[in-house]
Amino acid sequence: MISLKNVIKTYDGKEVLKNISVDFPDGKTTVILGPSGSGKSTLLRSLDLLVRPDSGTLSFSDISLDYAQPVTKKKSFDIRKKTSMVFQNWNLFPNLTVIENITTAPITVLKQSKEETEKRARQLLSQVGLAEYADRYPSQLSGGQQQRISICRALAMNPEYILLDEPTSALDPELETQVLLILEELSKMDQSMIIVTHNMQFARSVADKIVFVEDGEILFDGSPKDFFEHPTTRIKDFLSGITFDDSKKLK
Amino acid sequence: MWHIIITSLPEMISAMLQYTIPLAIISFILGLILAVLTALIKFIQPSENKLVKYPWLVLRAIADFYVWLFRSTPLLVQLFIIFFGLPSAGVELSPFIAAVIGFSLNTGAYASETIRSALMSVPQDQWDAAFTLNFTTKQTLMKIVLPQAVRIALPPLSNSFIGLVKDTSLASSITILEMFQVSQQITAKNYQPLLMYSLAAFLYAVVCTLLTFLQHYLERRTSRYVKGSEA
């Protein structure tokens, strides 16, 4: 389990995480929801130390870390070894082929053998339906294909948790579906995942737990059932605000 | 006219092969090494560890000073100080060594800014992706960032190299018998300045044209992964 306690992060005097405490259980899919600029991404990135909060603690099974103290290289390595991030714009390495994108880190960082790593990479690629693209460059593929590859890249590091930062926000609906199906599959296989998303239908179908963040605070932390069936007034507003229907006309 | 050209060409080509081209190539390689080091010192943020941070900031101040100094003074003046000036401070250099030092330092200062801007042009996203995969800064540079930066730096670095080939003509002023100097000497004998200097210009243009082809070849090679590139 990953636990954050009393996490505070400010950018230029503005508090973006206000004393946040939250747990992300093992083997479950936690979905983080909330309006843009609420601090969702900052929260997710704090788990992987891409963002360094000002204070608070992170505990991750046997590792604990005080954000206010200097972090040793070893500790940051150990934490990042347990997590892998999938980004909104996938951030594949354009200078490497698809297969190199997946294998370079396991070979360089985990010192795995080249043959083993490539074998596993090809397996992952065929699982996401992209086996025949192994030797292409990312720029030759669609956004949805690139995002599926970036999921393979994350999985190849055998992380305990996969962190996904709006993985489908930059995709059109058809490509989005291809990616969501893979995530649903992973969720069914009890892969620990934390997903920031705006797709409510998806959140509803895969989430084991929902965390609703607004203005750097957690306004809801519980089951999807409670979230969607017994929403608070604010959540009701949020859910209706992102639904398109004819009852809302611009006044 | 053809007679003059045919008799002076061997001498000029030999000066080109003996001085102009070696000066340009050696100085460019040394300048490039210096440029990469300088750019990295200015580009990389040192870790919080005080034992790394303060020496790094000192290095950075030296790098800043170096780039400022060589960009703020004329190359000809730099060559004069190194060759004619330094002996009074007890440092005597052969003309060739003095020229190599002057050209390398000058090229390094300009090229370091080219490389730094190429490094900056690789998006932060690439660093984030590398860090989440647990690459170190060095691994990220070597495998991800530098290969992308090279592609971006190639056209302006080619500018620097082509510029350097032509600037080697300044070495004539510190007694090196490079091609331009040879053309002046021949002119002194045959009184054909228009013909001789045009011939020198033509030979510089030939070398620079070949370099332009090399640039195009390298651009194609390093752009293989870019959408719409021919390869």
pLDDT at residue number B51: 87
Question: Does B231 reside within a domain?
Answer: no
CB atoms within 10 A of CB A192: 23
**H helix intervals, chain A:** 40-47, 73-82, 98-108, 114-127, 143-155, 173-188, 200-206, 224-229, 233-241
Which SS3 state, helix, strand or coil, does residue A62 take? Answer: coil
Task: Kindly indicate the confidence band of residue A249, based on its pLDDT and cuts at 50, 70 and 90.
Answer: low
Interface test mutation site (partner B, options A45, A93, A139, A153, max chain B beta carbons within 10 A): A93
Average pLDDT taken over every residue of chain A = 94
Q: B225 and A94: CB-CB below 8 Å? A: yes
Does the structure show a pLDDT above 50 at B209? yes
Q: At what angle do helices B193-222 and B146-167 cross, to 10 degrees?
A: 170
* Mean pLDDT of the A161-189 span: 94
Specify the range with the lowest mean pLDDT, choosing from A31-40, A94-103, A120-129, A240-249: A240-249
Cβ atoms A67, A52 nearer than 8 A: yes
For residue B147, give the chain A residue with the closest CA. A95
Q: A50 and B132: CB-CB below 8 Å? A: yes
* Mean pLDDT of the A36-46 span: 94
Question: Does B228 reside within a domain?
Answer: no
Q: At what angle do helices A143-155 and A173-188 cross, to 10 degrees?
A: 20
pLDDT digits (tens, 9 = 90+) for A70-83: 898 999 999 999 99
Does the structure show a pLDDT above 80 at B77? yes
Question: Does B39 reside within a domain?
Answer: yes
For residue B222, give the chain A residue with the closest CA. A95
* Mean pLDDT of the B209-228 span: 91
Q: Could you tell me what percent of chain B has a pLDDT over 70?
A: 98
Contacts of A96 in chain B (CB under 8 A): 143-144, 225
Contacts of A108 in chain B (CB under 8 A): 135, 139, 143
Cβ atoms A126, A155 nearer than 8 A: no
Question: Does B227 reside within a domain?
Answer: no
pLDDT at residue number A241: 81
Task: Give the β-pairing of A2-11 and A209-214.
Answer: unpaired
For residue B125, give the chain A residue with the closest CA. A91
Residue B229 or residue A160, greater confidence: A160
* Mean pLDDT of the A3-20 span: 95
Does the structure show a pLDDT above 80 at B48? no
* Mean pLDDT of the A31-57 span: 95
Q: What's the CATH number where B50 sits? A: 1.10.3720.10
* Mean pLDDT of the B66-95 span: 97
Domain of residue B183: give its range.
2-222
Interface test mutation site (partner B, options A80, A95, A142, max chain B beta carbons within 10 A): A95
* Structural domains of chain B, count: 1
Give exposure, A14-42, as e/b (b: 16+ Cβ within 10 Å). Answer: eebbeebebebeeebbbbbbbeeebbbbb
pLDDT at residue number A248: 65
pLDDT digits (tens, 9 = 90+) for B84-101: 999 999 999 999 999 999
* Mean pLDDT of the A226-239 span: 91
Q: A105 and B133: CB-CB below 8 Å? A: yes
pLDDT digits (tens, 9 = 90+) for B163-175: 999 999 999 999 9
Fold exhibited by the domain A2-216: Rossmann fold (3.40.50)
Q: E strand or H helix at A85, and its extent?
A: strand A83-86
Does the structure show a pLDDT above 90 at A204? yes
pLDDT at residue number B116: 97
Domain ranges of chain A: 2-216
Does the structure show a pLDDT above 80 at A187? yes
Task: Kindly indicate the confidence band of residue B229, based on its pLDDT and cuts at 50, 70 and 90.
Answer: low
Does the structure show a pLDDT above 70 at B230? no
Q: A84 and B125: CB-CB below 8 Å? A: no
Closest by CA position to B10, among listed B155, B183, B173, B137: B183
> Which of A50, A97, A150 has its CB closest to that of B131?
A50
Chain A positions contacting chain B at CB under 8 Å are: 48-50, 70, 77, 80-81, 83-85, 87, 89, 91-97, 104-105, 108-109, 137-140, 150, 153-154, 157, 163
For residue B144, give the chain A residue with the closest CA. A93
Report how many Cβ contacts below 8 Å link chain A to chain B: 70
Chain B positions contacting chain A at CB under 8 Å are: 48-49, 125-126, 128-135, 139, 143-144, 147-148, 151, 224-227
pLDDT at residue number B231: 42
Question: Does B93 reside within a domain?
Answer: yes
Average pLDDT taken over every residue of chain B = 95
Question: Does B189 reside within a domain?
Answer: yes
What are A114-118's contacts with CB under 8 Å, separation 24+?
A: A117/A156
Q: E strand or H helix at A10, and its extent?
A: strand A2-11
